[in-house]
Amino acid sequence: MFEWHRIHKHEDNIENDVTDRVFEYVCEYYEVEDILDLTEEQISELEDFRDKLNEFSVMQIGFSNLIMQWEDNQIEPTNDN
């Protein structure tokens, strides 16, 4: 029976490659140094673009990773004093 040992490592590498390409392209397109410099409006544009991609597009994971990372860094720290 056919087997592919450690296929998850290949999948991780593909996801990382796609994410890197999306981050690079988006930063170039919006002329920012880092995705954290993107505005809410730009993120909204990216969400709309991602949502219009074919549901099987490998690029979806890259856009989702970018959006999640941006959102994770927008949360204001709470002051629990």
Q: What is the pLDDT of residues 4-41, one digit of tens each?
A: 999 999 999 999 999 999 999 999 999 999 999 999 99
Extract the tokens encoding 80.
């629990």
Percent of the chain at pLDDT > 70 equals 93
| Residue 68 domain flag | no
3-state secondary structure of 34: coil
> Looking up tokens 């990382």, which residue turns up?
16
3-state secondary structure of 3: coil
User: Which domain, by its residues, includes 45?
Assistant: 21-51
**Packing angle of the helix pair 7-30, 59-72 (nearest 10 deg):** 70
Q: For the chain, what is the domain count?
A: 1
* Lowest model confidence (mean pLDDT) among 47-56, 58-67, 70-79: 70-79
Q: Look at 55 and 81; give whichever has higher pLDDT.
A: 55
Q: pLDDT band at residue 75, thresholds of 50, 70 and 90?
A: confident
| Residue 38 domain flag | yes
